[in-house]
Structure 1
């Protein structure tokens, strides 16, 4: 149970960091690189599955992926871009912060409940899969929306010429 509490405190710290980054990112123009890199960096976490302690069953993989993909819908709905000063910016969203806090609370509650039924290593693996299953669809949707606005900017530039 101590490890569950420690990891929950770590999750709270990461959530605060993510909220800070999101607010800061809204002040600078978006780029494809800024959208694509986070899931690539996160993918290195899959190396945990080299160790038997973190391995999960096929059913646990499916469950975690489905929950992550469902949660991604909330992030997709609250991540919108806008064109300002002929550049693409991520719109600030108060709902995004509330959703992120809500997802964090659900994650901690789920971890507390599931830790009595599932080994901590497996649980860590499942929550990594959940997070990866959430970030990939979200970032793909963001990238597609970003590219759409990029095309609009390009067409507007062509029309100006």
Structure 2
């Protein structure tokens, strides 16, 4: 089978782990839908995720600043947009809930597929640790921009009600 890369078993395992992780995240995200949200629940994921930047202490993961900026911009400008458009905060009585459109799961699946396809292209040009670093930066840009949009909507809804909802 000459068309398969030499590292086919490792490649298959990598794709399988990515798919399993992606499906697990989908189920977690869907379970969180329509539950009350707080400012803390919006802010904590990007703060917790930012600890991942410690990977760049290891020289093997480092990439040029221009690449990092492009990855961050791609995440923040391209990949965050569908998440922002399909996530709506609404007031439900005294609480604010996140309502996701029916397209949300398809958006997340689409993002997972694009990530898998891009991963192979990028990995063929740079090292595996650098690829991981770039995709982390891309994901961080996506999550950060999405959560900032959610935070702005949360603050706007909190002010409309006149309640002090900043937990």
TM-score normalised to the size of structure 1?
0.88
Structure 1 gaps of 5+ residues are 156-161
The separation in 1 between residues aligned to 2:23 and 2:115, in whole angstroms, is 14
2:154 is the alignment partner of 1:132: no
The separation in 1 between residues aligned to 2:51 and 2:126, in whole angstroms, is 23
2:143 is the alignment partner of 1:142: no
In terms of fraction of residues, the more helix-rich structure is: 1
1:103 to 99, 111, 129: 111
2:34 is the alignment partner of 1:14: no
Contact kept, 8 Å, 1:30 with 1:89, in 2: the verdict is: yes
Tell me the equivalent position of 1:51: 58
Moved more, 24-33 or 133-142: 24-33
Question: Offset of 1:115 from its aligned partner?
Answer: 1.4
Aligned residues: 155
The separation in 1 between residues aligned to 2:16 and 2:142, in whole angstroms, is 20
Within a 5 Å distance, the mapping from 1:12-91 to structure 2 comes to: 12-69=19-76, 70-91=78-99
Give deviations 1:82-107, integer Å, cap 9, x for gaps.
11123111113221111111111011
TM-score normalised to the size of structure 2?
0.85
Question: Offset of 1:27 from its aligned partner?
Answer: 3.5
Task: Give the superposed CA RMSD.
Answer: 1.6
Q: 1:125 to 1:61 in 2, by over 3 A?
A: same
Give deviations 1:128-156, integer Å, cap 9, x for gaps.
0000011001001101101111111227x
